[in-house]
Structure 1
């Protein structure tokens, strides 16, 4: 029997600025597909046709305590990949004590900055929703997923799933 790897600690970097002591939580991106059912003649049921990434796949949400001016100053940045974020997490397996390093690197821009409720003496928190164009998930130094929407790259476990499409399109 093995116990699961659990997040024991983390940090978030915004354009290389460490948010240690400020970052409260991160919701790493979902990896989702947009599937459309197709049923043609001679088929006794539908087949889900892959139409690429789902719309909510490009979301990264994170929270910081207090007031974070860096994210506010990035709001409205014109480049679709103008903000660089890096999540670094330490996951530990309690039966063995082994640590697994997880890193997520994202480039994008902020869609929304929620300043939350402001009340003297209460905890204050900002929630930032970032839409990404680039995402790389690395576990213990091995790149598991790398997606570059603008460059039409989608690499999973070392296999570029869009290589054939880029070649067919002359890219």
Structure 2
């Protein structure tokens, strides 16, 4: 029997500034592809052809306790890669004690800062939705997925899936 690795510790960094003790939850962006139906002549059924990245993958949502002037000063950033965030997680198996690191680095800008309800004596957690244009997922110091939308780079296990396409169009 083997037990899964479970998140034991985590931290979030905003432009290198640690939110240790301030962030309680993050929603890691999903990675998804957009598939479209195709049924050509002579086909007895349809296939789904790969149309690239799904339209709704670029959202990173995170929660932060209290008030943070840094996040507020980043509101209205002009460029798609203005803000750098990094999630660092430490996972552990309870049967062997083995640990693994998961790191997600992204660059983007905040679409929404939701202050939530404000009541003295209650939690004053706010939710930030950051839309990313650059995303890198690393497990145990090995880059597994790296996506740079503006520069047309999409790497999986070190293989750039768009390298030949860039060359084909002169990039």
Q: Deviations over 1:54-90 (max 9, x none)?
A: 1111110100111122111101000110000000000
Structure 1: segments with no counterpart, 5+ residues: none
Equivalent residues in 2 for 1:39-58, closer than 5 Å: 39-58=39-58
**TM-score where L is the length of structure 1:** 0.98
Alpha-carbon distance between aligned partners in 2 of 1:44 and 1:73, rounded to the nearest angstrom: 57
Over aligned residue pairs, what C-alpha RMSD do you find?
Answer: 0.7
Q: After TM superposition, which residue ranges in structure 1, 4 or more long, deviate above 3 angstroms? A: none
Q: Are 1:146 and 2:156 matched, yes or no?
A: no
Structure 2 counterpart of 1:79: 79
Alpha-carbon distance between aligned partners in 1 of 2:55 and 2:129, rounded to the nearest angstrom: 14
Q: Deviations over 1:17-59 (max 9, x none)?
A: 0000001111111001111101111111111111111111111
**TM-score where L is the length of structure 2:** 0.98
Give the secondary structure class of the aligned counterpart of 1:2: coil
Structure 2: segments with no counterpart, 5+ residues: none
Alpha-carbon distance between aligned partners in 1 of 2:66 and 2:20, rounded to the nearest angstrom: 13
Equivalent residues in 2 for 1:1-171, closer than 5 Å: 1-171=1-171
Give the secondary structure class of the aligned counterpart of 1:55: coil
Give the secondary structure class of the aligned counterpart of 1:70: helix
Alpha-carbon distance between aligned partners in 1 of 2:92 and 2:142, rounded to the nearest angstrom: 17
Give the CA deviation at 1:93.
0.7
